Amino acid sequence: MSNEKQLDVRFVSVEAGITALGFRRIAAIARKLNPQTKIYFIPVDNLYSLLTHIFPFRKSKFNSKDVESISAELQDANLICFSSMSASSGYIKKIIISLKKRKSKAFILWGGVHCTLYPDDAIKHADAICLGEGEISFEQFFQAFKSGKDYS
């Protein structure tokens, strides 16, 4: 049996759909590094559907009950990695606020387009952010984080 420390890692994509190609690449790397990594897709709106533009009332109603349900699921993790575009950043902020109210000890890493375009906004909410493509930097961060070394 290995004495290697296993972390409870959660990857969460909050987007209008579930394509999230960049997120999927990083999540695959995370699973390679930590096979128990859990991956979540939270499609909050369907911005790509013509029907939501013709019938705006059909948009999803992502509400405080959803935020609480998501934060309850995530709260016991050691590391939570969010990914979003700017249009979905408000949802992540609400989830992070809920996690903090629950006194979650999870380290929160946020990546995706929003962080690259608006790093000053994203870092106000997360413990760390990932700018640009994160395949190499995430692996370096994760190895240092897991071993308790300086990951900055």
Helix, strand, coil % over all residues of the chain, rounded to 5: 45, 15, 40
Dump pLDDT digits (tens) for 38-68.
Answer: 999 998 876 556 655 566 655 567 789 999 9
Which residues, at least 6 apart from 36, have a Cβ–Cβ distance to it below 8 Å?
Answer: 6, 8, 9
CA distance 13 to 43: 8
**Rounded mean pLDDT of 100-128?**
96
Residue 119 in contact with residue 131, Cβ under 8 Å? yes
- For residue 50, what pLDDT is reported? 60
The pTM for the full model equals: 0.87
The mean predicted confidence, pLDDT, of the chain is 88
Dump pLDDT digits (tens) for 120-145.
Answer: 999 999 999 999 888 889 999 999 99
CA distance 50 to 53: 5
